[in-house]
Amino acid sequence: MAQADASMDLDTGRETSLERMVTADGIPLKRSLKRAERRRKLFALGLVAPLLAFLLTVFIFPIGQMMWRSVDNPQIINTLPRTVEALEAWDPGADELPPEEVFAALQADFAADQELPRRQQGTGSLGVRLNYEVSGARSAVSRTARQVDGFAVPYKDEFLDAHRLWGQPEIWRVIKRESRPLTASYYVQALDREYAPDGSIQLRDEGQRTYISLFLRTFALSATILGLTFLLGFPISYYMSTLPMRQANLLMIFVLLPFWTSLLVRTSAWIVLLQQQGVINSTLVGLGIIGDDSRLSMVYNMTGTIVAMTHILLPFMVLPLYSVMRGIPPSYMRAAKGLGARPWTAFRRVYFPQTLPGIGAGGVLVFIISIGYYITPALVGGQSGRMISNEIARHMQSSLNWGLAAALGTLLLVSVMILYWVYNRLVGADSLKLG
């Protein structure tokens, strides 16, 4: 900092006099300074470059790709260029089928596609894409595309014979609407909205809204887990910070144990512990606290997710808290008491505020990690313990709607960034202390 100030001073204030100053071998001082600076910058760049390249390839590039996928929409325009053009004159608002030219164009598009080698044919992915919007579109496309060679004028009748869907204005509206290479439809769906027949966007029927409530649940669960890790982590961190190093390290091992246990071992341990025939329930029944027929459901539901994730994420809260607390000299508490504060006041006004950087760091870590967690909720969360990332994983792996998965992932990313921004405005990210 001081150095930067100094060089700024050199640049502005005394520029003219400096031009005349030269080093012993006659090179202007300023130029040789710049050369030295450049060498230093190159060296610094050399140190950072490998990590930068690594981040670019494994982090920034995939995220960019994900965001791209959430709007990428090539299927219709690539496979049905003639149809798209012919549909331009058609009014999607009117509740009637497009004219014969459009059917002729579709026939030509399908026929052209069938000519291509199999790998380059677009009807497969076209069917998948249209099926996201209209159920049945996939078999309509695949069945019709193979027959179009034999179609005769008027094509309209042939198409209506081939599949009932061609007789519904809805599919034509979708083709027209989604004919641009970029689409907002994945976001529309990810926000529990849908297109009305007139093209406006409206909220879905109550029974069909999924994602907003899932987002909210994810945030609520993460906040609960954050609260629990804080309640459990703060006292133990405080206690550890007052212990001699050796005992503190021993305790730390217990806190870190979940880190060192394989996921499967941990998961089976929770299940053994929490299930209806599990240790806790059997103990409670054995002690007569609950009846045999009213065993508690603690796993395969939200409780399971909360218990398991609190356990896993506790170290992320304890580590920064502990390291911040270790750095707070006991003299502050003494000073506060010496100045007349009761122990509780001294703790609240002097000790606690100084742990805020640790709480902030731990909180941000726990919250952001739990927002994106999906293995544990999938294993012990049942339905009520599912989080948005499980839904993203489902769309990645089983429903294979990668566009929707990408839109949900982007929304998740954006909401995390907004939260981080809010946190930064409220607390200041520079006060984070990770230890």
Q: Does 398 bind other proteins (CB under 8 A)?
A: yes
Binders of other proteins among residues 42 to 71 (CB under 8 A) are none
Question: What is the Cα–Cα distance from 306 to 385, expressed in whole angstroms?
Answer: 8
Task: CB nearer to other proteins: give 90 or 409.
Answer: 409
Listed in sequence order, the DSSP H helices in 275-351 are 279-286, 302-326, 331-338, 343-346
Interaction mask 187-226, other proteins, x per CB under 8 A:
--------------------xxxx--xx------------
Least Å distance between CB 335 and other proteins?
4
Question: What is the Cα–Cα distance from 362 to 355, expressed in whole angstroms?
Answer: 11
Contacts for 144 with CB less than 8 Å, ≥ 6 apart: 110, 159, 162, 163, 166
Q: Does 118 bind other proteins (CB under 8 A)?
A: yes
CB 274 within 8 A of CB 299: yes
Question: What is the Cα–Cα distance from 36 to 178, expressed in whole angstroms?
Answer: 57
Q: Does 16 bind other proteins (CB under 8 A)?
A: no
User: For residue 195, which phi and psi values (nearest 5 degrees)?
Assistant: -85, 130
Helix-, strand-, coil-residue percentages of the chain, each rounded to 5:
75, 0, 25
Least Å distance between CB 320 and other proteins?
17
Q: Does 311 bind other proteins (CB under 8 A)?
A: no
Task: CB nearer to other proteins: give 86 or 359.
Answer: 359
Pairing, β 193-195 against β 201-203: antiparallel
CA angle 395, 399, 404 (to 5 degrees): 40
Binders of other proteins among residues 328 to 357 (CB under 8 A) are 329, 331-332, 334-343, 345-346, 349-350, 353-354, 356
Task: CB nearer to other proteins: give 129 or 176.
Answer: 129
Binders of other proteins among residues 262 to 301 (CB under 8 A) are 263, 275-277, 300
Q: Does 138 bind other proteins (CB under 8 A)?
A: yes
Least Å distance between CB 368 and other proteins?
15
Count of Cβ atoms closer than 10 Å to residue 287 Cβ:
8
> Among residues 83, 107, 111, 95, which one has the least CA distance to residue 157?
107
Least Å distance between CB 17 and other proteins?
32
Question: What is the Cα–Cα distance from 32 to 39, expressed in whole angstroms?
Answer: 11
Among 223, 256, 280, 375, binds other proteins (CB under 8 A): 375
Least Å distance between CB 271 and other proteins?
8
CA angle 127, 408, 221 (to 5 degrees): 140
Q: Measured in whole angstroms, how far is the alpha carbon of residue 283 from the centre of its chain?
A: 40
The token duo for 160 is: 């209506």
Considering only the stretches 36-44, 102-110, 125-133, 415-423, report the one whose residues sit in contact with other proteins under the rule CB under 8 A.
125-133
Among 10, 29, 77, 128, binds other proteins (CB under 8 A): 128
What are the residues binding other proteins (CB under 8 A)?
Answer: 118-121, 123-125, 127-128, 131-132, 135-139, 142, 207-210, 213-214, 263, 275-277, 300, 329, 331-332, 334-343, 345-346, 349-350, 353-354, 356, 375, 378, 382-384, 386, 391, 394, 396-401
